[in-house]
Amino acid sequence: MLLAGWHDSFLFVRSIFSLDSPRMTFKKAIGKLHLWLGLGSGLVVFIVSLTGAIFTFQDEIRDAAQPWRLVAAPAAAVPLPPSRLQAAVVASHAGATPSWTTYYAPDRSATVYFSDKAGGSYLASLNPYTGQVLHEQDMRTDFFTIVQALHMYLLIPNPWGEWVVGIAVAIFLVMLVTGLVLWWPKRKQERKQRLTIKWGAKWRRLNYDLHQVLGFYIAAGAFIIALTGLFMSFGSWMQAASLVANAGHHYPLEEAPPKVDTLAAAVAPAQPLIDVAYQQVRRQSPTAAMVLVGPATDRKQPLYCLTYQKALHYYHRDEYYFHPVSGQLLRALPHATKSNGKKLGDLNYDLHTGQILGLGGKIIAFLVSLLSASLPVTGTLLWWGRRHKQPKRQLVTS
């Protein structure tokens, strides 16, 4: 009986996708594929798209709602070194263990990520010129941090959450392609109809137009956003794209951090290690607005620092590796010397959020993400409406 059930299921699936049947054309098969993939991934695509739309303007919303993110920059003032900022955090929060320290711009507060003895994760905002702690944020209750976690892994423990989101987004890419195939009109005179929404129609027709017309208009933008999202979720996808951008060439210095010789004797500097690294980074990248200094906690791994030319923009990036004991510069990867593949990886976040084009790009990304969230809804209503068609009234003749 079990074998019979499997046999029936196999016949059902084959009947959906088989092209052997004279009634099953290529476009009908694409329609079936589009339908079942959509029903299987729709809920995840809806959540990921909606949270992506919300997260798009998170910096602008934070700046408006969190006054501690901005500070008055004194004339010719020099920011305090990272060790001073971390010491201020430890002094204000007993048991704090600082990690990343970030300088954003002359008129912005610096931040220090830290954890406490209870395992909580916090972000402290400080005046970079005085060391005053302006605000502490528990990242477990921060709204945009929760939105980001929903967007990236649905609050499901990793790596399962990332896989669920990644598979659903990959399916969404297929849905965009199959959707264009279904949208494409057979005759030129039908194209105008496929490009406009009949707002005065009944709800079934209106829903149909919303699904296919809006889907067509956002297809290119949605494809870019989904693909760049997959690059962030799956490193192998990004590596493959970088390899293509590099025409198949490998650049070993960009693919792995330098190794630290644990057998060689190294003399610790008189200053704190993170301050030594910070000073070198400022000299190496004098025009950078944003500087990130990594934690000096592992004597077997190099200390990692990054700089960005523009605050809160993540494309133009210089990278530095320092010896975890002596603070000696082990490797520098300036933006200008990077391969095309490495630059593509650096560009990925700004492409994903639309901010590569400034405010206009963010608005486009917001609208594309919001309308992408509508596609699973209108698609499900379209399927439900077809399954529950009202029977045509029969004419009664006397």
Q: What is the DSSP string of 318-341?
A: EEEEE-TTT--EEEEE-GGGS-HH
In tens, the pLDDT along 369-380 reads 999 999 999 999
Report the pLDDT averaged over residues 317-330.
95
Q: Which residues contact 110 (CB under 8 A, 6 or more apart)?
A: 79, 85, 101, 102, 103, 104, 125, 126, 127, 128
In tens, the pLDDT along 116-145 reads 988 899 999 999 999 999 999 999 999 999
**Is 66 strand, coil or helix?**
coil
CA–CA gap between residue 265 and residue 252 (Å, rounded): 26
Radius of gyration of the CA atoms of the chain, in A: 27
Contact 322, 277 (CB under 8 A): yes
- How confident is residue 385, by pLDDT bands cut at 50, 70 and 90? confident
Which residue is it, tokens 């799956």? 234
CA–CA gap between residue 34 and residue 177 (Å, rounded): 9
Joined together, the tokens standing for residue 374 give 């509508």
Q: Which residues contact 174 (CB under 8 A, 6 or more apart)?
A: 33, 37
Report the pLDDT averaged over residues 262-266.
70
Joined together, the tokens standing for residue 125 give 């905002």
pLDDT, the chain, mean: 90
Using a pLDDT cut of 90, give the percent of the chain over it: 76
Which residue is it, tokens 């971390």? 86
In tens, the pLDDT along 142-190 reads 999 999 999 999 999 988 999 999 999 999 999 999 999 999 888 777 7
Beta bridge partners of 78: none
Task: Give me the torsion for CA of 46, 49, 50, 56, rounded to 10°.
Answer: 180
Looking at residue 298, what is its pLDDT? Answer: 83
Dihedral (CA of 184, 186, 188, 193) sign: negative
Contact 290, 105 (CB under 8 A): yes
The residue type found at 249 is H
DSSP letter at 395 equals P
Residue 380 Cα distances to 168, 202, 386, angstroms: 16, 17, 10
Is the pLDDT at 1 greater than 60, yes or no?
no
In tens, the pLDDT along 23-59 reads 568 888 999 999 999 999 999 999 999 999 999 999 9
Which residue is it, tokens 């402290």? 124
Name the residue among 104, 58, 60 with its Cα closest to residue 85.
104
